[in-house]
Structure 1
Amino acid sequence: MIEKVNLNNILFLDIETVPQEISYLGMDEETKQLWENKTQYQRKDQVSPEDFYERAGIWAEFGKIITISVGYFVNKADIRNFRVTSFWGDEKKILNDFSNLLNTHFNGAQHLLCGHNVKEFDIPYIARRMIINGLALPSKLNLFGKKPWEVPHLDTLELWKFGDYKHFTSLKLLTKVLGVPSPKDDIDGSEVARVYYIENDIDRIVTYCEKDVIAVAQVFLRLRREDLLVEDEIIHI
């Protein structure tokens, strides 16, 4: 029962990713061929590998992480705070700083990671990029040999499925039906690469990522039938 989980033990997270290169032409010939092979079933016959490259950020082998945003509750007695912070810049530093956070503050048996579709996307992506960057996996991301019930992750998409594995609900839709303020009031995931490479506006992306983290926390509160966070309870650090 998620009502029994101590909110102070949960690290809410979200990542933003982009293609490794600004365009398809930035890849060497071998990588172009590997990209073509990797995406042949997703592209369909009428879409070229070059035109499809704008979606390369979805795959950890062809993309990179440009920001990780996290949030966590600090609840004491009747005072409730939700603190939000982000890591951005060089990808290896982002990953290393995030790993240090996990190892230092969220490494206990009681600690859980939570996000929307985090089990299928964010956490595997982070783990793969850590390996690619030569970093050791923190214990919360090292799932080798663990049984499904031993995995220390909560996923609001999975919680909303209630066992229906065919059902996918976007965070935007879930916030709408649950009466949570939408995090998609500026850009959405499809625009992140353009804002990063063309507009060179990482601050805008960080703000968008942090809004997603807050939205996930709000959804989690709604699933527990608790009051939503108000502006004064959200602290950006």
Structure 2
Amino acid sequence: MRISDIMTCAISRMLKDEEKVFHGVSSHMPMVAMMLARSMHAPNLVHLNIPGGVNPKSIKDSYYSSAGADLWSTSEASFPLAEVFDLSMRGELDVAFLGGIQFDVNGNVNASVIGNYNKPKIRLPGGAGSAVLIPTAKKAIIWRTKHDKRTFVEKVDFVTTRGNLWKIVTPLCVFEFRDGKLWLDSIHPTSSLEEVQENTGFKLNYTEIKYTPEPTKEELMMLKKIDPYDYRTKEFE
């Protein structure tokens, strides 16, 4: 059982029919998950992306950045990136897929620096779209292909953006943000509560232990069809 398949299917199931959903660059897993959702249970989901395409038919040329020309050239319509931000700020973007480097128990996201801001160990790309979309999208989903104590910390080194997260999907589990804290939503079948806690820099909040459902045969078959080049595993390379 591959963790990339578990994560992609878990993300796909979070998406509902007729939702307007956006992914940016370096977002191969969400891109595939969105196409899986449209193919399985959400045929009217609206897929928006960086090149400005709506509901692209192909992702074959999107290997490098998940922003390939085919996301526009094979799409049903054009919806430029500036309009996506406007849509979100009007409260009409249902889901935005976003990234980050550090996350803390209070739902703060750091995408700016590691260490002191004025003399950082590492200077990161910064907020970019996250600073706008996390506060304004109805649901912000973050995915991360690493889960360790450097990523999930008690307090982030710098707050790039805060609050309004919905889910964080990692190779070990799914977190949900509620009541101002990150809560353990489900543990992947390839992991355990002990492993999640050992790799998390804060004490886990949970009320019950739930496990992420395994991908179904139908989902795995569809993944092979829509993602024959296995882009969903690219971020693990």
Relative to the length of structure 1, the TM-score reads 0.29
Of the two structures, which has the highest relative contact order with CA contacts closer than 8 Å and spacing of 6 or more? 1
Larger helix share, 1 or 2? 1
Task: Decide which structure has the larger Cα Rg and report it.
Answer: 1
Relative to the length of structure 2, the TM-score reads 0.29
